[in-house]
Amino acid sequence: MTIFRACLALCLALLALGTTAEAQGTYRIQRGDVLRVEVLEDEGLNRELLVLPDGRVSMPLAGNILAAGRTVTQVQRAITAGLANNFSITPTVYVGVSRIKEPEPQQEEAPELYRIYVLGETGKTGLIEVEPGTTVLQLFAQMGGFTNFAAKKRIQLRRRTETGERIYTLNYKHIERGQSGAGLATVQDGDVFVVPQRRLFE
């Protein structure tokens, strides 16, 4: 039973080696990978080579060898050919992928901001950029509220539509008291808010 287990373990090990070799044989080397090179006739040449941004590796006595986009077998042949003139017989070269370049973390794209325009009696006028989903009430906060001369009952929301411009009248007093749900409406890109000056006894 012990001999059987030893044979089974050896077969599994050989199978694993064969699978690894097959995987490396079809793998296309990338910039940033690290290759392990071993030269049977000269251990002093054994080393790890980084695939540089230009796609090449620098191997002593063989010079710069193109690696990126090639298989391990192709690079092994190229290094062997580059070393051949320095040996009396063709050297025996082994090349393997020692380390694969780690994928760069993907950066989350910043959400596209809406461009909102504010005119009139507010703390801040002009262009205000807000995130999609911003409500009318949140926009009022970002524009710094209203001046003492603002006609809060006659705030205009001017919005472009396919047929032209549509004007909505917002009453901040009602929104503030919870009598209107207009403050929960979300703004749209290109909206224009106009806060007129209040009249004498308004």
* Digit-coded pLDDT (tens) for 105-142: 877 777 789 999 999 999 999 999 999 999 999 999 99
Local confidence band at 201 (pLDDT 50, 70, 90 cut-offs): confident
* Confidence band for 24, pLDDT divided at 50, 70 and 90: low
Given 68, 99, 130, the domain boundary residue is 99
Choosing from 58, 73, 99, the residue where a domain stops is: 99
Rounded to an integer, the average pLDDT of 37-48 is 94
Is residue 4 in a domain?
A: no
- pLDDT tens-digit readout, 130-140: 999 999 999 99
For residue 47, the enclosing domain spans 22-99
Q: Is position 71 within any domain?
A: yes
CATH number of the domain where residue 61 is located:
3.30.1950.10
pTM greater than 0.95: no
Residue 85 sits in the same domain as residue 38: yes
One-character DSSP codes across 71-120: -HHHHHHHHHHHHGGGSSS---EEEEEEEPPPPPPPPPPPPPPEEEEEEE
Q: Count helices and strands (H / E) in the chain.
A: 4, 10
Q: Phi and psi for 150 in degrees, rounded to 5?
A: -75, 135
Residue-wise pLDDT for 66-108, tens only, equals: 999 999 999 999 999 999 999 999 999 999 999 998 887 877 7
Q: Are residues 48 and 120 in the same domain?
A: no
Contacts with 115 (C-beta within 8 Å, 6 or more apart), sequence order: 127, 128, 129, 189, 190
Is residue 14 domain-resident? no
> Is residue 62 domain-resident?
yes
Domain end call among 76, 99, 122? 99
- What tens digit of pLDDT does each residue of 146-197 get? 999 999 999 999 999 888 899 999 999 999 998 999 999 999 999 999 999 9
Q: Say if 3 falls within a structural domain.
A: no
Q: Both 90 and 119 in a single domain? A: no
- Give per-residue pLDDT as tens, 46-65: 999 999 999 999 999 999 99
Residue 16 falls inside a structural domain: no
In a domain, 36, yes or no: yes
Per the domain annotation, does 7 fall within a domain?
no
Does one domain contain both 26 and 79? yes
Number of domains making up the chain: 2
CATH of the domain at 158: 3.10.560.10
